[in-house]
Chains A and B, each alone.
Chain A
Amino acid sequence: MNNPKEHKRLVLVLVAGVIFMFGFCYMLVPFYKLVCKQIGFNGQSVQTATVPSANMPVDHTRTIKVDFVTVVHGDLNFQFLPLQRHIEVHPGETKLIYFYAQNQTGHEITVQAIPSITPSDAARFLKKTECFCFTQQYFFNNERADMPVYFYVDPSVPKNIHEMTLAYTLYDQTGFIKKQEHFTKGRIDL
């Protein structure tokens, strides 16, 4: 009964289990990203561009009100506002919206806007063909610009959805700057 060999074998199995669970914890990270993307949770699905199908019908019988909310994270000295507070769209119809941003930090800076869509059950139906939030945005000192979003609401959006909110939080990317050219596509410099 007190057989060290047997103990050793069981201990090894259990230690392997412990190491697996430690790895499993890290595996939760990509798994979470995947799930979020699939269900559109937390705006993860709208950080990449979608290509609408060519013959997407426009549902003129329904109108959805989309609100825009902007937040500047922490004490970053930035002006960041939507040019329109809300817009009414028919499902399937593509709209263009501009967001105004001004760098008041007193130095050059790279920022990125992270989207979030509520209600969560509607999030995966709001799709963007082009957005300033897909990439980091470079601003020189005191630069002002209008930044574009092209989006549409998928016609398969549930019937009980009448209103959606698209919220952006603008983050200072210093420390996370990607090695790429300063990306300003579609921006209207003011």
Chain B
Amino acid sequence: MNEALSHHGDAHADSGAHGPDKGFKRWLFTTNHKDIGTLYLTFSLIMLFVGGFMALVIRLELFEPGKVLINPELFNQMTTMHGLIMVFGVIMPAMAGLANWLIPMMIGAPDMALPRLNNWSFWLLPFAFSMLGSTLLMSGPAPDFGWTFYAPLSTTYGPKSTDFFIFSIHMMGASSIMAALNIVVTIFNMRAPGMTLMKMPIFVWNWLVTAFLLLAVMPVLAGCVTMMLMDRHFHTSFFNAAGGGDPILFQHVFWFFGHPEVYILILPGFGVISEIIPTFSRKKLFGYTSMVYATIMIAFLGFLVWMHHMFTTGAPFAAQLFFMYVTMLVAVPTGIKVFNWVATIFKGSITFETPMLFALGFLIMFTIGGFSGLMLALVPSDYQYRDSYFVVAHFHYVLVSGSLFTIFAAVYYWLPKWTGNMYSEKLGQWHFWLSVIGMNVAFLPMHFLGLAGMPRRIPDYALQFTDFNQICTVGAFIFGFAQLIFLYIVYQACFGPRKQALTNQVWEGAHGLEWTLPSPVPYHTFETAPQIV
């Protein structure tokens, strides 16, 4: 779409006028989109290991019935923190990091539109998560009501540390809103001349839609936790039936945020896959326009399906039917995307480098997650599956082999461009295969556990579930330790010796403005905008 261009912006980029600061100050005060992207991704990587450690504690406890390692109180805290960290501390910052690194380079802009706001939106995160993490060290339990923090578990019965949780959610929310604001302004105002909206790379399109979702629903989450805070301390009863409120209202408000949130977690990933599959199939993306409209359609439908999370709360029949049908309708634009990806691969000249492997792994396993989602969307079957391990299996298929795999794919794909150093392909393949095997061994049996009736969020279970739980735990450990390979690969690519000089294009089939820049990219790029023909 934008191969034909003339660029002259980066020739004098390393003339030394504006190099980065030295040492710690560089990172603290930076307004450079590449530095901030790196900060986001590093933060996300650290949190991946923190949240992953908690996941392994959970799986260890579930290795056998009865108490294995930790007591039920700590178990509840671990599931809560694991969920919060993985959603708000890993996937969202990683996607924001990719946006920061890539959007300016993809649209031919010198930086983000609001660089200081950008710095602030990142630096809120470490403080928010230190505050959240500090609750584990306090006397009394850390938040222990699940990542969905349903009232009255989090209001009337919430531990004291819930207030720390509320303020850390506020900070994360502010961070996400500012990042989204920045992205929208950058995309609308800073595209290179000639780059119309329908010529934008598909990753940028997906992030634009995601940013609007963030702007629309993060304030609702902020309002939701503010109501909680008021119920806890300022004598209101939004969610307290004794004072005339309704706990069910909490679930409506939460899921009005929560369902668009799951699309926030996956849409940038769809964009990544739509960049990678054409490169390694050496074909243009099939159905660019339909991809754009499908993304917008998914985002729009995301606002009309929240009640499928609460079919069993005594909703009227008509409402259940409406939300069931609209939920199933989401499968249409998602199906368009999946078929477009398959059509892009079809008759392509395919090679299987690590980014492509992760993209293909995503394609297959995300679709499995989508199918189990369709099963959950059906009201009659949802009554059986709800609150069981089937749900756990479903959302780990769409979040781990969905969002997380797209992030891995993106890192492998653009890491040579960022660092100028090719990652170790052999180790990358090891990482992929161990991840895929570990992931499936960990999460596939959970479907059957759920169908057999094992409830989620329990530290102990009936004896007949033991075998499958042990398989899950083994898989989880394979998956967890496979990520150490990833850590080593990224370390090697960033700090290891240069093996070979890379071309600008890096990958044979790669197209787009970022692939016209040298590898590694200079600190400042596109100070003069390229002209898109």
Nearest CB in chain B: distance from A177 CB, A: 10
B215 to A21, Cβ gap below 8 A? yes
Mask for A25-55, Cβ within 8 A of B = 1, else 0? 1101100100010010110100000000000
A29 to B220, CA, bound (A): 12
On whether A32 and B315 interact (CB within 8 A), knowing A2-B113, A173-B242, A175-B235, the answer reads no
Check if A156 is an interface residue, CB within 8 A of chain B: no
Given A7-B185, A18-B181, A176-B244, output 17 extra A-B contacts at Cβ < 8 Å: A1-B190, A1-B529, A10-B189, A11-B114, A11-B181, A17-B215, A18-B215, A18-B219, A21-B220, A28-B252, A29-B227, A32-B252, A42-B248, A112-B242, A120-B316, A176-B237, A176-B243
Mask for A166-179, Cβ within 8 A of B = 1, else 0? 00010111011000
Check if B5 is an interface residue, CB within 8 A of chain A: no
A29 to B249, Cβ gap below 8 A? yes
A118 to B188, Cβ gap below 8 A? no
A25 to B219, Cβ gap below 8 A? yes
B190 touches which of A2, A11, A14 (Cβ 8 Å): A2
Question: Which 6 A-B pairs have CB atoms at the shortest separation, nearest pair first?
Answer: A25-B223, A171-B242, A21-B219, A22-B219, A25-B220, A176-B243
Check if B110 is an interface residue, CB within 8 A of chain A: yes
On whether A114 and B241 interact (CB within 8 A), knowing A2-B110, A19-B219, A120-B315, the answer reads yes
Considering the complex, give the chain A residue whose CB is closest to the CB of B191: A1
Give B241-275 interface residues, CB cut-off 8 Å to A: 241-244, 246, 248-249, 252-253, 256
A29 to B224, CA, bound (A): 11
Nearest CB in chain A: distance from B243 CB, A: 4
Number of chain A interface residues as a range: 35 or more
Q: DSSP class of B's interface residues: helix, strand, loop or mixed?
A: helix
Check if B216 is an interface residue, CB within 8 A of chain A: yes
Check if A24 is an interface residue, CB within 8 A of chain B: yes
A158 to B33, CA, bound (A): 62
Considering the complex, give the chain B residue whose CB is closest to the CB of A15: B181
Q: Which residues of A contact B110 (CB under 8 A)?
A: 2
B216 to A17, Cβ gap below 8 A? yes
Give A80-136 interface residues, CB cut-off 8 Å to B: 112, 114, 118, 120-121
Give B160-189 interface residues, CB cut-off 8 Å to A: 177, 181, 184-185, 188-189
Check if B495 is an interface residue, CB within 8 A of chain A: no
Check if A61 is an interface residue, CB within 8 A of chain B: no
B256 to A28, Cβ gap below 8 A? yes
Check if B359 is an interface residue, CB within 8 A of chain A: no
A42 to B246, Cβ gap below 8 A? yes
B220 to A24, Cβ gap below 8 A? yes
Check if B23 is an interface residue, CB within 8 A of chain A: no
A14 touches which of B109, B215, B217, B314 (Cβ 8 Å): B215
B219 to A42, Cβ gap below 8 A? no
B317 to A121, Cβ gap below 8 A? yes
Nearest CB in chain B: distance from A168 CB, A: 11
Q: Which residues of B contact A121 (CB under 8 A)?
A: 316-317
B242 to A73, Cβ gap below 8 A? yes
Check if B448 is an interface residue, CB within 8 A of chain A: no
Q: Which residues of A contact B219 (CB under 8 A)?
A: 18-19, 21-22, 24-25
A169 to B243, CA, bound (A): 12
Check if B193 is an interface residue, CB within 8 A of chain A: yes
Q: Which residues of B contact A17 (CB under 8 A)?
A: 215-216
A175 to B188, CA, bound (A): 51
20 A-B pairs with C-beta separation under 8 A: A1-B189, A1-B190, A1-B529, A2-B190, A7-B113, A10-B189, A14-B185, A14-B215, A15-B181, A21-B219, A21-B220, A25-B227, A26-B227, A28-B256, A29-B227, A32-B249, A36-B246, A112-B242, A120-B314, A121-B317
